[in-house]
Amino acid sequence: MIQASLTELAAALGARKISSVELTTLFLDRIDALNPTLNAFITVDHDGALAAARAADARLAAGTAGPLTGIPIAHKDVFCTEGVRTTCASKMLENFVSPYDAHVVGQLKAAGAVMLGKTNMDEFAMGSSNENTFFGAARNPWDTTRVTGGSSGGSAVAVAARLSPMATGTDTGGSVRQPAALTGVTGIKPSYGVVSRYGMIAYASSLDQGGAFGRSAEDCALLLTAMAGFDPRDSTSLEREREDYSRALNQPLAGLRIGLPKEFFADGMDDDVRAAIDAALAHYRQLGATTVEVSLPNAKLAIPAYYVIAPAEASSNLSRFDGVRYGHRAADYTDLADMYGKSRAEGFGAEVKRRILVGTYVLSHGYYDAYYLQAQKLRRLIAEDFQRAFEHCDVIAGPTSPTVAWTLGEKNDDPVQMYLQDIYTIAVNLAGLPGLSLPCGTGAGDLPVGLQLIGNYFDEAHLLNVAHGFQQGTDWHRRTPAVG
């Protein structure tokens, strides 16, 4: 059953071929066996998962089950979960237990999904490798000496290693798509505002967006359908009618226009990644799609703009973690100011401190106009570039990451090289567009390569259709790493 799709699992549960308790136990046992090696989970909730599975079995018996009822799920440890600790992979929140559920968690709980536990991540979602974590790096199941990508690395590993059939993540600059690419799974970030950020601990509020991991585009469509929806508690949540994101999965791809940004196919992409992307595009042509060159002239400015805007917002969002109301408090201090300083110095890791300092600097008097305001102007130019490109194509395609997964520790001494791993994903967040990564081949070391698909606003169903069409004729998404 660990290889089954969500549709197959739902059918098996509905036909009573297996119970949710049995299915949940299967995955809990697998987590117990493999998590010491992979470090995908920070917290595993055995008792809570089995209680939820029993409740799901009752719904299944009563005939009131939905498509996800009884199916296990893993949540990124940035989503608040009532009664289960939410750490953001930080010493600052090591022992924090939320009194409420995030909107995403509540939606999936209402759908009957069974939470297995909370997955590893870069601290406060700041990172591209899942090495910036108080609980130790998550490890890539294709090669445990390699990174998983970040910040949602634990969720990607959980799905790739079949520790969970599906998982949630968040994407601020590529943090769903990049780990999906490096671990060989499918991951989607919807348009900004489609998934509520209520109860999702903020990094950069204008960029953060919840996303979904699954083995396939079909799995992601089912999960995103349950996650998405208007939430009045989130001022950035869009009041739109709910969608069934699986409604267009089987539409033919003949006539599809795929835009290839010339900036994505210039220098910077490794040859093995380029070969896999070229082969994937050739497959799309066989399906009746055409490819056209488009241009995103300001894409090269995405990383500098992002690393002004995101740290600025982070410096504001993380000011609440001061050791007073919740979170880590230093044991020894002389006065209130000393307590603030020591608590934050002890509670935050190096990358979080770096981004707080950068953010405070760019917002300071005399630098706001020179840095933050200019970055926001660049953001608008980047969004306008995408709109001009979509006049000539239906979706935009390119690599998700310029390389396959690199060795643990390889880039830790050079933050700029680490930041450049998000060179193809960050512009999508700055523009607020939907993006998806699907496995499309392998590169050096037989490691997965991801193809990124970018759609226009609220075009998630079409993106999932384009990905599903590819996956109907290929088996990259069905391949399983050797671990376990």
Listing DSSP states for 49-84 in one string gives HHHHHHHHHHHHHHT---TTTT-EEEEETTB-BTTB
Q: Please tell me the predicted confidence (pLDDT) of residue 74.
A: 98
Say whether the peptide bond before residue 151 is cis (omega within 30 degrees of 0).
Answer: yes
pLDDT > 70 fraction of the chain, expressed in percent and rounded? 100
- Rounded mean pLDDT of 139-154? 97
Q: Please tell me the predicted confidence (pLDDT) of residue 325.
A: 87
Q: Please tell me the predicted confidence (pLDDT) of residue 134.
A: 98
Q: Please tell me the predicted confidence (pLDDT) of residue 9.
A: 98
First to last CA, the chain: 15
Length of the chain: 484
Q: Please tell me the predicted confidence (pLDDT) of residue 266.
A: 86
Res 106 pLDDT > 90: yes
pLDDT > 90 fraction of the chain, expressed in percent and rounded? 95
Is the Cβ–Cβ distance between 184 and 481 less than 8 Å? yes
Q: Would you call 146 helix, strand, or coil by DSSP?
A: strand
What band does 484 get if pLDDT is binned at 50, 70 and 90? Answer: low
- How far is Cα 28 from Cα 117, in angstroms, rounded to an integer? 9
DSSP secondary structure of 158-221: HHHTTS-SEEEEE-SSSTTHHHHHHHT-EEEE--TTSS--TTB--SSTTT--EEEEESSHHHHH
DSSP 8-state assignment for residue 108: H
**pLDDT, tens digit, 9 for 90 and up, residues 178-237:** 999 999 999 999 999 999 999 999 999 999 999 999 999 999 999 999 999 999 999 999
Distances from the Cα of 240 to the Cαs of 168, 205, 428, 440, 464, in angstroms? 21, 20, 21, 32, 19
Q: Please tell me the predicted confidence (pLDDT) of residue 371.
A: 94
Helix axes 271-286, 460-472, angle to 10 degrees: 90
Q: Please tell me the predicted confidence (pLDDT) of residue 417.
A: 87
**pLDDT, tens digit, 9 for 90 and up, residues 8-45:** 999 999 999 999 999 999 999 999 999 999 999 999 99
DSSP 8-state assignment for residue 444: G
Is the Cβ–Cβ distance between 137 and 130 less than 8 Å? yes
Q: Please tell me the predicted confidence (pLDDT) of residue 90.
A: 98
* Positions marked active-site: 76, 151, 175
What is the pLDDT of the chain when averaged over all its residues? 97
Look at strands 210-214 and 72-76 and give their pairing: unpaired
**pLDDT, tens digit, 9 for 90 and up, residues 174-192:** 999 999 999 999 999 999 9
Q: Please tell me the predicted confidence (pLDDT) of residue 267.
A: 83
What band does 366 get if pLDDT is binned at 50, 70 and 90? Answer: confident
Q: Would you call 15 helix, strand, or coil by DSSP?
A: coil
**pLDDT, tens digit, 9 for 90 and up, residues 259-285:** 999 999 988 899 999 999 999 999 999
Q: Please tell me the predicted confidence (pLDDT) of residue 479.
A: 95
Q: Which two tokens stand for residue 212?
A: 């979904």
**pLDDT, tens digit, 9 for 90 and up, residues 411-442:** 998 888 898 899 999 999 999 999 999 999 99
- How far is Cα 464 from Cα 453, in angstroms, rounded to an integer? 9
Q: Please tell me the predicted confidence (pLDDT) of residue 8.
A: 97
417-420 long-range contacts, Cβ below 8 Å, gap at least 24? 418/127, 418/128, 418/129, 419/128, 419/303, 419/307, 420/268, 420/303
State the Cα torsion 88-89-93-95 to the nearest 10°.
120
Domains and CATH numbers, the chain: 6-256 (3.90.1300.10)
**pLDDT, tens digit, 9 for 90 and up, residues 291-329:** 999 999 999 999 999 999 999 999 999 999 999 988 999
Helix axes 460-472, 217-227, angle to 10 degrees: 160
